[in-house]
Amino acid sequence: MRFKHHDAEYELPDDWWNEAGMRASLLSGSSYVGAPSQWPKLQVFELAINDVQPVLRQGSHGVFNDNPEFGTAHDRVVQILKGFRDRTSIPPIEVARLPSPQSPQFKLIHGVHRLYCSIAVGFSHVPAVEVVDFFGTYP
């Protein structure tokens, strides 16, 4: 399955999509169900996907990557898609606000798999927390 975010094009393997039991008609709402943030002082908010800069990286599977700490790209993507399908609470993405006025307004800090799975399923928003400002200051 191919999809776009701004001018960048991405791919999610069809077999991963099928393994997760995905059908677009299964999903409702503009976003996945967000879990509480690991940052207790930060408010989780609904962020329009179009307000996030595209990620331009080549992981082990396009924008998706394997990670020794978190598992293979395949396992991570299938788990996220199943979470979307089952309406399981999933952590918000973490973003930093870019200097304004600018569009998009945010840079993704953590949550590439969650963001790009959200785009693939057709969500317009994602749960997010602003964890760092443009100058790199954490809360």
Please tell me the predicted confidence (pLDDT) of residue 59: 63
Q: Which residue has the higher pLDDT, 108 or 59?
A: 108
pLDDT (tens digit per residue) in 98-132: 887 778 899 999 999 999 999 999 999 999 999 87
User: What's this model's pTM, rounded to 2 decimal places?
Assistant: 0.89
| 129-139: average pLDDT | 67
Burial class from Cβ neighbours inside 10 Å (0-12, 13-18, 19+) for residue 119 reads buried
Name the average pLDDT for the chain. Answer: 88
pLDDT-derived band at 24, boundaries 50, 70, 90: low
Whether the predicted pLDDT of 70 surpasses 70: yes
Secondary-structure breakdown of the chain: helix, strand, coil percentages, each rounded to the nearest 5: 25, 30, 45
Whether the predicted pLDDT of 53 surpasses 70: yes
pLDDT-derived band at 27, boundaries 50, 70, 90: confident
Please tell me the predicted confidence (pLDDT) of residue 30: 93
Query: Which residue, chain included where needed, has tokens 């990670």?
Result: 67
Residue 64 φ/ψ, nearest 5 degrees: -85, 140
CA 31 to chain CA centroid, nearest Å: 10
